[in-house]
Amino acid sequence: MAEHGSCQTAWISPCALPCRLPTILGAPSMPQPARVSALMAVRDGSSGIDAALASVLAWGDHLLEAVVVDDGSRDDTPARLAAWQAKDPRVRVLGRPARGLVPALNEGLEACRGCWVARMDADDLASPHRLTIQAPLLEADPSLVLVDGQVRFFRDHGEVPEGMRLHQDWINAVIEPEDFDRAFSV
């Protein structure tokens, strides 16, 4: 991998309400099973997919599954994904002809079975503590529909270009809900 990033985002999938229903109705809190689907799409990502999947699978008990949509890879990505799927039952691979990132993510989102969906790029590395921090925030406040995290861009060799550093600073300045208004106003 020549360039790396670490991005942390989770959002409610369409099936989130049933997992939150006991909390909303005031039922006693019970330990919940794994409830997060990690979603990534990849095309020709053999240089980073192993590290990305390993970082997602390190989420442990919070992770229900890692749904990976192979969007028409021509390199050895399909073989790598098949190996991951064979050794870890949490990995689900959807192969399809190349149609682009957004259609691949939409197809993957429909296949996710978790109450929450954590979006991940196939060349990113995720903190092993990501869901330990994010999942309780979403569950504690029913008004939240999204949590985000900070990022750090890095490279195997050399410095991160100034444009990427500026982008990292811009992303990391969005902390509170009102920051979204400021960051995305035109």
**Domains, the chain, with CATH or none:** 3-149 (3.90.550.10)
Residue 18 to residue 35: CA distance in whole angstroms: 11
What lies within 8 Å, CB to CB, of 130 at 6+ separation is 8, 59, 118, 149
Tell me the average pLDDT across 122-135: 86
Question: For residues 38 and 11, which has the higher predicted lDDT (pLDDT)?
Answer: 38
pLDDT at 81 over 90: yes
Tell me the average pLDDT across 154-164: 84
What pLDDT does 3 receive?
Answer: 39
pTM score, whole prediction:
0.75
What pLDDT does 34 receive?
Answer: 57
Tell me the average pLDDT across 49-65: 90
What pLDDT does 27 receive?
Answer: 41
Report how far apart the first and last C-alpha atoms of the chain are (Å, whole number).
Answer: 34
pLDDT at 99 over 90: yes
Tell me the average pLDDT across 100-114: 94
Mean pLDDT of the chain: 80
What pLDDT does 61 receive?
Answer: 78
Q: Where are the alpha helices (DSSP H) in the chain?
A: 16-24, 49-57, 77-87, 101-111, 130-140, 162-172, 177-184
Handedness of CA 50, 71, 106, 172 (dihedral sign): positive
Tell me the average pLDDT across 12-39: 49
